[in-house]
């Protein structure tokens, strides 16, 4: 689907060459205060040594350096971790970001996230005081372009239209250009919300997580959700910023995989260049490249089979997720058996989620997840399969998570690993890759996936996002430059093909198109392309080659 979208866009550009037309952005985007946002949120580096107040403050120089490497133009600064975050922002981070050419959006937490010791200090849940303070800061530092509030839709009883009107008037009376964008989720973005509160905001930050199934493993719904959100938001001439998880969502089995982050970011960037999105922001893209041992859950090796029921997902009796392998019992063997390890993590209410083993669709073993009350404790199970396999030359072996009774909000992550057999062979019984097992589900809200721990996930994800952002940034610069129309359109086609190939993971083709682009820019530098611009583009292309 992603490649088709890019193909359509490139086809339109090629058509423009033959009709003598140039590619232009939608006029609506030009009227908005927020557009062409390449951004990151949170995950700053903290100083290793506490200051005199005992607090590990934001390490502004190290953080800014990482953000420059990422090639973002906007950073969403979270005020929540420490009481000094606001002072660090004003006195250190914002001035440094201004020098680096990075805009800043101040990101606050709502009342629902202000119940513990961590809060948005110093004004807490007085969002009129926040509106005034942030607006005044934006006059001193024009790179402060807006403010945002997390989980806005969970707090609508607090953020009434009347209160939002006061928030807007307070901020806009000081700086009319200061933007406000609440953070929401797909299921809560409705016509009613926009009709009653849309006039008080400048856009929406929509955090994508495969809603209503709340996970960071499935991304097949992303395009559909972009299409729906774009239709709703654009009708109100608001900006749509797409937030993508680069770190773990609460009550999920693991951090999102490298593949998940790469795919979701690239789908979003495709849609940004098609005018459906006004920005892309990564959620907690870590800037310190250390292992994440909480993801290392396998009994042996690095991988295990995970069956996951997300929080807030309603299931029905009979819903199931499974993996199956065709086995061939040996006729010379008189006995057949398997051993395996299993664990689970989550609440322990009995009678709902059941682990099962099946032979040819007949249940030969089952266990309520509530039986093992210790999270992530691997249990050894041995099964005699002789009664079920005697006389058979082949059979289906299935591991399954089954709903005996439906739930409304009962997350659980079930694991299977180290499957060993006697009397027949098992392929990939340690789940070190995704081969040999056929996945199946009867309900999309239950997820089965081989999860594999990668101690280098952080650096790989950072590098992938960097490459995607930098490729898009070069595309954006070529689109925006004022040069000879025929030369411009030729460059657009080449960078479009390079973007297409890179997103399709066809890196050799992408490199070929980058070389062709570089050659044409070199030939036109000092002629149709200003010398400084051409040299900068050639330097950017070399960076991309190193990343690809």
User: Is residue 252 located within the same domain as residue 334?
Assistant: no
Query: What CATH number corresponds to the domain at position 359?
Result: 2.60.120
What's the pLDDT score for residue 31?
60
Indicate whether 464 belongs to any domain. no
User: Is residue 248 located within the same domain as residue 308?
Assistant: no
User: Is residue 12 located within the same domain as residue 48?
Assistant: no
3-class SS string, 351-391: CCEEEEEEECCEEEEEEEHHHCCCCCCCEEEEEECHHHHCC
Find, among 10, 11, 29, 24, the residue nearest to 485 by Cα.
24
Tell me if 67 sits within 8 A of 40, measured CB to CB. Answer: yes
User: Is residue 39 located within the same domain as residue 119?
Assistant: yes
Instruction: Encode pLDDT of 40-57 as tens digits.
Output: 999 999 999 999 999 999
What's the pLDDT score for residue 333?
85
Instruction: Encode pLDDT of 275-320 as tens digits.
Output: 999 999 999 999 999 999 999 999 999 999 999 999 999 999 999 9
| Domain membership of residue 396 as a residue range | 297-452
User: Is residue 115 located within the same domain as residue 153?
Assistant: yes
Q: How many other β-carbons are positioned within 10 Å of the β-carbon of residue 323?
A: 22
Query: What CATH number corresponds to the domain at position 260?
Result: 3.20.20.80
Q: Where does a domain end: 230, 257, 286?
A: 286
Below-50 pLDDT ranges, the chain: 1-30
Find, among 479, 310, 338, the residue nearest to 399 by Cα.
338
User: Is residue 380 located within the same domain as residue 352?
Assistant: yes
What's the pLDDT score for residue 58?
98
The structural domain count of the chain equals 3
User: Is residue 242 located within the same domain as residue 315?
Assistant: no
Q: Where does a domain end: 266, 286, 306?
A: 286
Indicate whether 463 belongs to any domain. no
Indicate whether 466 belongs to any domain. no
CA distance to 163, 362, 365, 522, 547, per residue, from 318 (Å): 46, 14, 16, 63, 47
User: Is residue 21 located within the same domain as residue 146?
Assistant: no
pTM: 0.92
Tell me if 329 sits within 8 A of 423, measured CB to CB. Answer: yes
Indicate whether 234 belongs to any domain. yes
User: Is residue 171 located within the same domain as residue 251?
Assistant: yes
User: Is residue 98 located within the same domain as residue 211?
Assistant: yes
Find, among 529, 496, 535, 537, the residue nearest to 513 by Cα.
496
User: Is residue 135 located within the same domain as residue 273?
Assistant: yes
User: Is residue 207 located within the same domain as residue 309?
Assistant: no
Indicate whether 250 belongs to any domain. yes
CA gyration radius, the chain = 26
Indicate whether 540 belongs to any domain. yes
Report the distance separating Cα 542 and Cα 537, nearest Å: 9
Indicate whether 472 belongs to any domain. no
Instruction: Determine whether 377 is exposed, middle or buried from the number of CB atoms within 10 Å of its CB (0-12, 13-18, 19+).
Output: exposed
Indicate whether 352 belongs to any domain. yes
Report the distance separating Cα 259 and Cα 275, nearest Å: 24
Q: Where does a domain end: 286, 307, 336?
A: 286
């Amino acid at each position: 689907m992603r490649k088709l979208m890019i193909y359509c866009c490139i086809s339109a550009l090629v058509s423009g060459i033959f009709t003598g037309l140039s590619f232009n952005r939608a006029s609506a985007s030009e009227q908005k205060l927020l557009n062409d946002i390449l951004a990151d949120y949170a995950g700053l580096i903290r100083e290793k040594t506490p200051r005199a107040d005992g607090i590990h403050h934001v390490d502004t120089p190290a953080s800014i350096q990482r953000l420059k490497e990422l090639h973002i133009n906007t950073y969403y600064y979270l005020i929540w971790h420490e009481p000094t975050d606001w002072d660090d922002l004003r006195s250190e981070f914002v001035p440094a970001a201004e020098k680096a050419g990075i805009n800043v959006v101040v990101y606050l937490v709502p009342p629902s996230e202000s119940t513990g010791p961590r809060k948005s200090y110093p004004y807490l849940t007085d969002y009129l005081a926040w509106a005034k303070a942030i607006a005044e800061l934006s006059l001193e530092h024009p790179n402060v372009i807006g403010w945002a509030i997390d989980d806005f839709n969970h707090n609508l009883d607090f953020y009434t239209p009347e209160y939002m009107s006061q928030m807007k008037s307070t901020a806009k009376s000081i700086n009319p250009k200061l933007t406000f964008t609440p953070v929401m989720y797909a299921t809560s973005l409705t016509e009613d919300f926009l009709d009653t509160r849309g006039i008080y905001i400048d856009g929406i930050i929509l955090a994508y997580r495969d809603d209503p199934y709340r996970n960071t493993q499935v991304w097949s719904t992303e395009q559909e959700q972009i299409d729906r959100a774009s239709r709703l938001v654009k009708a109100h001439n608001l900006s749509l910023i797409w937030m993508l998880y680069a770190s773990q969502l609460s009550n999920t089995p693991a951090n999102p995989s490298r593949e998940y982050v790469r795919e979701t970011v690239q789908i979003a960037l495709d849609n940004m260049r098609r005018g459906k999105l006004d920005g892309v922001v990564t959620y907690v893209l870590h800037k310190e490249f250390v292992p994440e041992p909480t993801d290392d859950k396998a009994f042996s090796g690095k991988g295990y089979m995970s069956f996951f029921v997300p929080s807030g997902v309603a299931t029905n009796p009979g819903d199931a997720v499974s993996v199956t392998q065709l086995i061939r019992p040996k006729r010379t063997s008189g006995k057949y058996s398997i051993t395996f390890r299993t664990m689970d993590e989550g609440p322990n209410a009995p009678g709902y989620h059941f682990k099962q083993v099946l032979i040819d669709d007949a249940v030969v073993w089952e266990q309520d997840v509530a039986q093992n009350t210790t999270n992530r404790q691997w249990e050894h199970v041995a099964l005699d399969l002789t009664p079920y396999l005697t006389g058979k030359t082949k059979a289906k072996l299935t591991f399954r998570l089954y709903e005996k009774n439906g739930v409304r909000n009962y997350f659980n992550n079930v694991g299977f690993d180290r499957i060993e057999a006697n009397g027949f062979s098992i392929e990939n019984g340690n789940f070190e890759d995704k081969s040999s097992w056929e996945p199946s589900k009867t309900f999309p809200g239950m997820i089965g996936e081989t999860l594999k721990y990668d101690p280098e996930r952080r650096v790989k994800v950072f590098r992938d996002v960097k490459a995607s952002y930098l490729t898009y940034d070069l595309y954006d610069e070529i689109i925006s430059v004022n040069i000879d129309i025929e030369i411009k359109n030729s460059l657009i086609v080449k960078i479009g093909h390079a973007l297409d190939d890179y997103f399709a993971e066809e890196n050799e083709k992408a490199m070929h198109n980058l070389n062709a682009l570089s050659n044409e820019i070199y030939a036109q530098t000092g002629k149709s392309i200003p010398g400084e611009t051409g040299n900068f583009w050639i330097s950017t292309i070399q960076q991309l080659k190193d990343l690809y």
